[in-house]
Each structure stands twice: as structure tokens, then as C-alpha cells.
Chain A
Amino acid sequence: MATPAKTPGPVRIPGGVAAPGRGGIGESPLRPDGTLKVAGEFAYASDLWMDGMLWGATLRSPHPRALIRSIDIGPALALPGVLAVLTHEDVPGRKMFGIDHTEDQPVLAIDQVRHQGEPVALVAADHPETARRAMSLIAVDYAVLDPITDPRAVIADPEGLKVQDRGGITRYQPVRVGDVDAAKAAAEVVVSGEYEVGIQDQAFLGPESGLAVPSDDGGIDLYVSTQWLHNDLKQIAPCLGLSEDQVHLTLAGVGGAFGGREDLSMQIHAGMLALRTGRPVKMSYNRYESFFGHVHRHPAWMRYEYGATGDGRLVYADVEIILDGGAYTSSTMNVVGNAASLGVGPYEIPNIRIDAYGVYTNNPPCGAMRGFGAVQACFAYESMMDRLAAACGLGRIEVRRRNAVSQGSRLATGQVIESPAPLAEMLARLEAMPMPAEPDRSDLRNLPGGVSQSTRGEGVVRGVGYGVGLKNICFSEGFDDLSTARVRLEVIGGEASVLVHTAAAEVGQGLVTVQAQVARTELGVQKVTIAPADDRVGDAGSSSASRQSYMTGGAVKRACEAVRAELLARAGRRFGCPAGELGVADGKIVRLAAGAVLGTVEDVLGDGAIEETREFHHRPTARMDPVTGQGRSHTQLALCVHRAVVDVDVELGLVKVVELAAVQDVGKILNRLSLEGQIHGGSAQGLGLAVMEEIVVSGGLVRNPSFTDYLIPTILDMPPMRLDILENPDPEAPYGLRGAGEPPTLSSTPAIVAAIRDATGRPLTRVPVRPEHITLPEAP
């Protein structure tokens, strides 16, 4: 297990990266981490190493609900090589934490456990194997209780079935528009459905890992894999009994996130062990533990009823959405807000009644995951649009077009869509895309089941389906969303160079590349370095909500603009002309009107650096009204539409997705290569939810915490994609861009399920669709 010692210090930490390529905004420079990752050379958080470090391990509850009668750590402490065994009594500061200002999660369980895998005790030892042996010596006396696992029962009896003292319901958010009861009397066509979404996991490949190093001032330096350094800091410091300036965070290599790193995992625990032992402590979960180390996507139970005119125009929507958040609040408040505000998607409906609930249970904790509440609702409302099409005898595209929002439409919350939302045009473009060529069916890989050879063509039926999704971009509901960038321009080795420093987390999405592109475009200088993300610069917000190109891209742009203004002011003084008449391009100071080159950036800078720090905030949003759900709760909205073509072995219920086609409006393409990667990846994650990805739970216990049985799509499952990317700018956003990471995750799932329905005629009201749902008659 022992990796050979390297040079002293935590050496495998990403340093500043010289952003390769020369591209500005709109070009596709390659990402600096790409080759390293493909070649297996990228330093992830699990590769962190420091001589003399200890290994931390976490003892977790095997029960979803139990009282803790006693914990005996004596035998574990006595094991040679063990340096510390800690319980909740050893938490140096505040014993509770939480991501969204609801500190209801104990650092280590206090007298009871509320979900399987809840951390109970910590061990630090000189070898990971010793730490594991020590954990098996900790005697925890549990009084096991019946777990509360049915969220619908909790809603029926929120005071009786309480996992948290505050009650069974985390958040109830209604939305009320018009008069649904009156509309019900007038509707000519009524369709209804009940839908269910299983628990999806982010399934990032880099497990939760980090290194805590005691610092000289009695504090802690933490190297962690996270999505939001400053939010981690705010939670970590009080629990460690330290001030925020005694805790320093540096981003370690992140192996995927998708929302699963918004909540803390090992951060406080490693800090506690390092403070106690005075030694560096590394913690790294294995794959099994990772399934208990982070929150998942909320499972959902949804009842929908739609009324329409005979020609398919919606007149009312009557909706109930129940989201199971598990034992702790995590992001459930905001996930419920999204599910409620986006519960009927991008369609104009004059009368709306939505009741959205988040509840506490003893099931696995759920929180942020790509799509964040909008994914669950999208599966339901898109399934409903297909039912409406069938009931009205309309095409599935046509029924969507008749109800589609456009610029100026009102959403369920009353919010007016102020920027372009050309859904009808997007649907037309999707419909016009050519169908995929017939696959070569002599190659088993082109058939459902692949090389498992369950069919050689027998039983295979083609199906086509469509999906539309609407996602909010950036933080919503009144949150003061901001990012900060520090940009420094100076001459290094005779060449003008830019250093961009932010706390924004590169989680694999390509943010460092975009930051460099912004700097090149704004400063006309090619050489750009991105400093390691840490908390020595202001808050950047989370790498979540499709917001970093918008927010940190916006902050870098602002800071660059300030640097440029100072540069041109200095140039104006040097060349004796008003700064307002000057510009910078290709490293040269030019007089704009004449196009004359006056000198180089290096000439102007000399030995003097220019450094500016700027914050960027998006337009403020409003809270949803607690009774009516009305309010301008989102700052930006983004659309994606998918067409799925599938081949289904209808006798065996196996699915081969033949092609996914997507049309997405991104406002402005910053980096086409990265953008296409985001659309491919989001679509693949939606495919996973459609046909395979689920954490299966019974009695509060996870039955498949491994990549053997939690299946994610492989290259033989994810088909080629046909993309049509539109650029209708949002005037409020930097460069007119629209966040792009999440929308494809919404619409691919319902498109694929609709295609399977098209091939099989089965109702398929639950995702992921399992083979027996297709082949056995009593299935959903």
C-alpha cells in the first residue's frame, strides 16, 4: 500500500497551469488537464502524499436508524500504529454542519444514527490497513429502530414520522396560477399519470479524498476535492473550533463532481485527526464507501393531471411532486424550489396548481446532482406531453409546439422569460434532422445486449422519442450569487503574461480553459497562467448550477477589463494620447481610429505589474412566494431538446440507444469542443437515468454500492450524437452566454423513455426502465 516517498511536502497538488493553445473566446483551445487524465498522469486528490502522514478512516453506521447506547474505543486505541480514535465528543467546535445554512448534520453521530453509512467514529493510524483493523475493534452498541422509509407516509403524518425534530417535511412549496378547479370543468381533454424516479448517483470516478496538514499557527491547511472552497471553509472552521483565517483550503485534483461534492465529506474529519495528532492526515474513500460518502439525486414520486382543449392547448396542470431528501436537509430546500418553479417545464399553461414537497426519511441522504430537481419534473412533464399528444391525436412535436414558451412568455412562477427562448424553432430543427443510418446488424455491438449476444436481430423494434427541458442557470431564489477574480498582468522573461487567480473549482468541466480564453480576449495577450484555486482570493461560488462560465467567466472578464483600463491609461500617458482612443490586440497597443500600432504591451508595462480584483454578481432574484410560488426566482433559463432513436429487444426488454440528437441554445459558444463535451456528458448521464442508473434501497439499506451493480453507461451504451447549437445571446450575461452543463441532462431521459414506449407500447412510468418493465405484464 505504501507509495514510495517523494520529495517532501504535499507534492502531488496541481500547480498553476500554463493554459495551452492560443485561443480566445469562440475558439477551441485544448484543456491543459486532458492529456494528463487520458494518460493516467493527472494528480487527483487520492494521489495526495506527504512524508510522515497518517491515514484516516471513518467508522459508519450499518443501520439506517438506531440509538447509540455506547461506543467503546479502548481496544482500537490499544492497537499498535493507531494514533487517534475520535467520536462526537472530540469535535473541537460546533458539532453540527450543513451546506445551506441548516446545520442539522452532526460531524459524527450523537447518540443516534439516521441513515446507513452515517459517520460514527474516526481513526488515524500509520497505515490504512491498521486504520481499518482499528475500526473493526470499535464497539458500538446500537439499539436498532424501524427506519422511516416511505416519503408518502411522512407527508400523510409529518408530525408522527419525524427523522428531524423540526418535522417530517423539509420544504413545502406550492405554485398557484389562475383557477384550476374552474379550468377542470372546461377542459375538453384530460390526461393523467403517476411517475417515479429512482435514486441516481453522481458516480464520479475520483472518490472523496483529501489531506489535512497542521499549520504553524495552530490551524489547518486542507487540500481537498470540492466544488466550492469558500462554502467548505465556512462549515469547516467553526466545527474545528478555528477562525476562518486559521484554515486554508487549496483545491486538489477533482475527479468529477456533478453536485456530489457540494456537501462536505472528509474535510472536517481529516482536520480533526490532524489537529489531534499534530501530523498530516490523508483520507481517501474506497468505491464502496464513496456511495455512502456523498448525497445522491432525490428520488421522486409525482402525480400529474393535465387538461387541454381538443386541439391540444393546455388549460390546466394539477401536480404533486414528492422528493425524498433522506435524513438531513442538505440542498433539499433548493431542489424543491426548482422542482416547483420548473414543474411544468417550458410550456404556457394558464391555470396551475403544483404542490412540491421535500421530506426527511432514513433513506440515503439526497442533495445536489446535475439538473437539481428539474430532472425529476422533466421526466414527468415530458411523459405527460406525449400522453396529451396521443389523447388529442396530434404528433408529439406538434403538441409541444402548440404549447411552447417563447421570449416574453410567463413561467409557472409568473416570471417573464426576458431573453430569447426559441423552443418552437428548436423543435422544428430537431424534427428536420436526418434519421440515423441503419446500423450494421451483423456487428453484435450494434444490437441490444451487445456482445452478450442476446439477440442476432430477433425481437428488435425501432422507436423514436422526444424530450424538452428547461433549466435555471446560476443560483436562484434571492441568493446573492457572486464570483471573484484577481488578474495580474506583468512582463515575465520579456513577455507579457497574465496570471488569473480565482477560487473556482475545475471539476473536469473545462473552466481553466475558459478563464484563459477570457483573459486572452480581453487583454490581447497570449500567455496566460491559471493559478491554483484556493481561498487566498475571494469567493467564486460553486461549480454548480451551470454557473461558472457565467459567474467566474464574468468575474475574470471584469478584472481583465479593469487591468486593460489601467494598461491603456499608462499607454495614453506614454504615447501622449487619450486612453479612450487606444486598444490592445495581439500584444500591441493600437490607436483604434487609425489602426496604428504605437508599441507593445511590454513597452508600456516595463517592470510594473498591473493587478486588479473584481467581483461579479448576476441580477438579483426573488424568493418564491410561500403561498403562491410566484416570483422572479431565476436569473437565466436554458433550453435543450433531444430526439432519441432506440432499438429495443421487445422480448427481452434490452435497449440499444442508436442515436441521440440535441438542439441547445447556449447564447454564445465560448469553446465548442468543451461545450460539445458537456452536451455529450449530460446526455449520457440522462441516458444512465433512463435505462440503468439506480441506487436500489430496501428498508433504508443500499443494495448495490459498487460499480459492479450500480451501472453507468459505457462507450457501447452511449451512441454518437448529432448536435445543433444555437447562439441567441442573453444580453444580461457575459458574451451573451447561457449556462450549458445541465440542460442536456434533463431532456435526454424523457426522450429515451419515450422512444422505448414508441417501440414497445408499454407505459413505462418509472426510471430507470428495467428489462422486466418491458417484458412482464404487471410492470409500471
Chain B
Amino acid sequence: MDFLRPVTWEDALAAKAARPGALPLQGGTDVMVEINFDAVRPEALLDLTRVRELAEWDEADGRLRVGAGVPYARLIAELGDRLPGLAQAARTVGSPQIRNRGTVGGNLGAASPAGDGHPPLLAAGAVIEVESEARGVRMIPADGFFRGVKRNALEPDELIRAFWIVPAPGPQYFAKIGTRNAMVIAVCSFAVALHPDERRVGTGVGSAAPTPRRAPAAEEFAAAELDWDGRGPLSPAAARRFGELVAGAAAPIDDVRGTAAYRGHALAVLARRALTWAWNDHRAEGKEAV
């Protein structure tokens, strides 16, 4: 197995073009486990951890461009105030050691249905920037990025450069179920993001379908149901209906981590709670503003 270690983004793209079978390595928290268990045996590893620009983020035209190599620990520390939903999800990833190494870019590359970073990206409407040497940059909306179990929209010669995301225009929450209180892969997860400026609610469902996915019917229901002008309370019945619609958007399975029936039940509860927290925050902000 060859081990390729480009130092610049150009060299990385060239390496990927020359060796489309090379498996990109970002933090290594997923890839190295697979290799150690002999679950994957790529012809080459393309180590991206020395490509400096991938570990940087900046802000332009009201949007954040976060490099694929920014680890979870830095997301929490440096961007937690602007990307609260993603930061909450990052906080649930593994242990402190894993959060120091693991990255959203790696999470997107693996494209696991259980990836913790995915639901908040979906809810916030993030866009993934990918690039190839031959065809240049391609911008892929998060909800078009996940194509199947551990499959994403990347072409064999493309690499993930960054994700683009708007600093939270309203409250955001991420909630997940695990059968222990830390260091656990999601049994199911849910993210909600309010976009009050657009009178829109974004959602993301994790670990309850072949891919992370949005819950469009729930989004439409909430957008119509919420009292955007008066900031009036969310009725328990509406919160419950929202939860049911989120659960209805999922297609969970029975596996060793949980049953399909439990996943559906738990998603409905998480979604109801998360929307309630978000809307209550929004209402409280409104009161402070007055």
C-alpha cells in the first residue's frame, strides 16, 4: 500500500488524479480503524493532513468557508458561537482525542449514515466544495451529497476542499441517541436550524435511513405552523406533529445498535424537543430585542 503525502492542495489534486483509487486520509479516526481491522485495503492512502490550507477557515460575503481538515475540537472552540448546531454535534463525536483528530471533511468523505456532522449541515443548508485537477471546483449542496450507505457524490478524481455555511441566523440544536453517555455512535440523531429571515426551518436526520437526509414535510409543516411575526408559543400538538413528520421521513432498520421501531419513536421525541428548544430560544431573543 502506497502512502502519499502531498503538502499543497495542487499536489493533492494531482495525486488524486493520478491515483483515483487512493483513499484520502484526513484525521484517520475512521480510515485507520478500517485498515487495522482489515475491512479496507486501498491501493494507496492519500494523507491530506499536511495540506495546510485545508486546516483553515475564513469568512467572506456573509458565509463561512471551513476547510475540510479543521478538526472538531477547533470547530467547537473557534466557531461554536456561529455554528452552534454543528458544534453541538462535534461535541458528541468520540473522545477528546478523537475530536482533536477527526474532521467534518473526513466525516463527509466516509459518508456514513451515522456521521454526526451530517444532520447539522443538512439543517443549515451547507454546500460542499469539491475539486478535481481536470474539471476544477464543483459546489454540491449537502442534501445532494449523500448518495447511499457510505457513498457520496464525489467523482474518483475529486477531493473535498471545504464546506460553505451561513453563520446561524437563528437557534440551532443537535440531539442524538446513544446507549451510553459519551463516546457512542448514534442510534439516531436529529438537527434543527431556524432561518427566521427566510421563515424557514431546516432539518437533518441521522442514522435512520441509508443516508443522512432532510425531513421536507416536517420543514414545511413547521414553516407554516410557527408564528414568525408574533413569536407566539409552539403548541404541544404542533411540536408532536413535527416529531411525527420527522419520524415519517426516516427509513430506519433493525441492527445491533437499536430497532427500527425504537429509532422511529426516538426521532419523534428528539425532533419535538429540539424544535421546542429552538423556538423557545427564538421567542426569548425576541423578548430581549424588545
Contact = CB atoms under 8 A, between A and B. Distances in A.
Q: Do A and B belong to a common assembly? A: yes
Interface of A: 132, 286-288, 445, 448-456, 458-459, 651-654, 656, 691-692, 696, 703-704, 706, 708-709, 711, 713-717, 770-772, 775-776
Contact of B273 (A287, A458, A708, A714): A458
A652 B181 contact: no
A654 B175 CA distance: 13
Nearest to A452: B176
B184 interface: yes
Nearest to B92: A452
Nearest to A705: B37
A709 B256 contact: yes
9 contacts: A450-B182, A454-B269, A456-B277, A651-B269, A706-B37, A708-B33, A714-B183, A771-B266, A772-B258
Given A455-B273, A711-B180, A716-B182, 8 more contacts: A448-B181, A450-B182, A452-B177, A715-B182, A771-B258, A772-B261, A775-B262, A776-B261
B92 A451 contact: yes
Given A288-B37, A716-B182, A452 B265 contact: no
A452 B178 contact: yes
Contact of B180 (A455, A653, A714, A772): A714
Contact of B37 (A286, A455, A654, A714): A286
Contacts of B37: 286-288, 706
Contacts of B277: 456
Contacts of A692: 179-180
B146 interface: no
B184 A451 contact: no
A455 B181 CA distance: 12
B26 interface: no
B132 interface: no
A652 B180 contact: no
A692 B178 CA distance: 10
B259 A772 contact: yes
A459 to B, nearest CB: 8
Nearest to A769: B179
Nearest to A696: B256
Nearest to B268: A651
B211 interface: no
B109 to A, nearest CB: 18
A236 B26 CA distance: 46
B258 A456 contact: no
A656 B277 CA distance: 21
Interface string B151-184: 0000000000000000000000111111111111
Nearest to A772: B262
Nearest to B255: A703
A458 B28 CA distance: 37
Contacts of A652: 177, 266, 269-270
Nearest to B187: A771
A750 to B, nearest CB: 20
A770 to B, nearest CB: 7
Contacts of A717: 180-182
B182 A714 contact: yes
Contacts of B214: none
A61 to B, nearest CB: 17
A427 B184 CA distance: 36
A164 B53 CA distance: 63
Contacts of B258: 770-772
B181 A445 contact: yes
B37 to A, nearest CB: 5
B41 to A, nearest CB: 10
B179 A771 contact: yes
Contact of A450 (B181, B185, B261): B181
B176 A454 contact: yes
B29 to A, nearest CB: 11
B181 A453 contact: no
Contacts of B178: 449, 452
A475 B179 CA distance: 36
Interface residues of B, number: 34
A650 to B, nearest CB: 10
B107 interface: no
A459 B175 CA distance: 15
A454 B178 CA distance: 9
Nearest to B181: A450
A453 B265 contact: no
Contact of B36 (A286, A459, A651): A286
B103 interface: no
B91 interface: yes
Nearest to A136: B38
Contacts of A450: 181-182
A652 B273 CA distance: 11
Contacts of B181: 445, 448-450, 452, 656, 714, 716-717
Given A452-B92, A696-B256, A706-B37, A771 B182 contact: no
A183 B33 CA distance: 59
Contacts of A449: 175-178, 181
Contacts of A708: 33, 185
B159 to A, nearest CB: 26
B49 interface: no
Contacts of B175: 449, 452-454
A713 B182 CA distance: 9
A644 to B, nearest CB: 15
B147 interface: no
Interface string B234-278: 000000000000000000000011110110011001100100010
Contacts of B174: 453
Most chain A CB neighbours (cut-off 10 Å) among B33, B186, B270:
B270
Contacts of B262: 653, 771-772, 775-776
A709 B258 CA distance: 11
Contact of B256 (A456, A459, A703): A703
Contacts of A716: 180-182
A653 B263 CA distance: 12
A28 B259 CA distance: 48
Query: Closest 6 A-B residue pairs measured CB to CB?
Result: A450-B181, A772-B262, A716-B182, A716-B181, A452-B176, A703-B256
A770 B269 contact: no
Nearest to A649: B269
A452 B185 CA distance: 10
A713 B266 contact: no
B259 to A, nearest CB: 5
Nearest to B265: A775
A138 B173 CA distance: 52
Contacts of B38: 132
B92 A456 contact: no
A132 B92 CA distance: 35
A452 B186 CA distance: 9
Nearest to A288: B37
B88 interface: yes
Interface in B24-83: 33, 36-38
A776 B265 contact: yes
B173 A453 contact: yes
Contacts of B261: 772, 776
Contacts of B185: 708-709
A55 to B, nearest CB: 14
Nearest to A455: B273
Given A286-B37, A453-B88, A711 B265 contact: no
A448 to B, nearest CB: 7
Nearest to B1: A129
B257 A709 contact: yes
A692 B175 CA distance: 20
A708 to B, nearest CB: 6
A454 B270 contact: yes
Most chain A CB neighbours (cut-off 10 Å) among B36, B38, B182, B187:
B182
A711 B179 contact: yes
A658 to B, nearest CB: 12
Contacts of B184: 452, 711
A57 to B, nearest CB: 11
A706 B36 CA distance: 12
Contacts of A714: 180-183
